[in-house]
Amino acid sequence: MPTATPAPTPTPTPAPTPTLDDDAEDSAPILKSARFTAPPDAIAGKVAEGDLIDDAMARATERYFTGDLAGAREALEALLAVDPDVIMALELYQEILGALGERLQRAEILEQLAVRVFDAQASAAYLRALGQARAAGADAVGSRTAFVRYLRLRPLDIALFSRVMVDLEGDGAASAADRAELWEARADALDDADASDDEIAQALTSAAKAHSEAGNSAAADHASARAAALALA
């Protein structure tokens, strides 16, 4: 009698391994629904706010160029009450305040611009203008503070650098840390500009002296060592 051949045991089919595409397909409905969770009223409010800002900016610009400074100022103040971070509005506002002789308020707007703009060149320009505005308003301390901040970004402005440094040196040890920082910044900027080794070494020597006055011996030694290395080069 022939022996019956046992039926083969079926091999289980492995479950498919999830892929990134599978995950993306599964999550797509969630992502799609998440994109549209903002209430329609909120979206409409944002659109209306944007329209209000655009209209106010257009009115302010038109009034400014037709010589209606008071009207332009009024439009800008209404705009900035809605959104105080509109850079174009702040820029035009400080121009108008300057034309109207509002030095103190213009200085406040320049301070905001210097902090809020993302471009280093623009920030430096606003800090320089802020220093001038503070000086015009007889705020010597505020003016110097603004110029020091400016020179950290633009230490190769030799005329202003020299003037501010003379002013700082009048304070003796109290301003030593600021002087050291500015001399270091100047040395680095001179190096980037491919200035002569002698010029860079002079800046570093001045930095070392200021660091020493400020009681920072480690920084003074480091600046001195850099200057000495350049002298031997």
Successive 10-residue mean pLDDT values, the chain, 233 residues: 50 45 38 39 47 84 94 93 91 94 93 91 94 90 94 95 92 89 96 93 95 93 93 78
- Please check whether residue 179 is in contact with residue 209, taking contact to mean a CB–CB distance below 8 angstroms: no
**Considering the domain boundaries, does residue 107 fall inside one?**
no
**Considering the domain boundaries, does residue 3 fall inside one?**
no
Q: Are residues 231 and 165 in the same domain?
A: yes
Position 50 scores a pLDDT of: 64
**Considering the domain boundaries, does residue 16 fall inside one?**
no
**Considering the domain boundaries, does residue 118 fall inside one?**
no
By three-state DSSP, how is residue 67 classified?
Answer: coil
Which domain does 231 fall in, by range?
A: 158-233
Position 29 scores a pLDDT of: 35
DSSP strands (E only) in 64-128: none
Q: Dig out the tokens for 181 from the structure.
A: 């920082």
**Considering the domain boundaries, does residue 123 fall inside one?**
no
**Considering the domain boundaries, does residue 209 fall inside one?**
yes
Residue 190 and residue 185: Cα distance in Å, rounded?
9
- Please check whether residue 100 is in contact with residue 69, taking contact to mean a CB–CB distance below 8 angstroms: yes
Position 55 scores a pLDDT of: 86
DSSP assignment, residue 200? H
**Considering the domain boundaries, does residue 35 fall inside one?**
no
Domain count, the chain: 2
In this structure, how many other beta carbons lie within 10 angstroms of the beta carbon of residue 20?
A: 7
**Considering the domain boundaries, does residue 173 fall inside one?**
yes
Position 179 scores a pLDDT of: 95
Q: Are residues 167 and 232 in the same domain?
A: yes
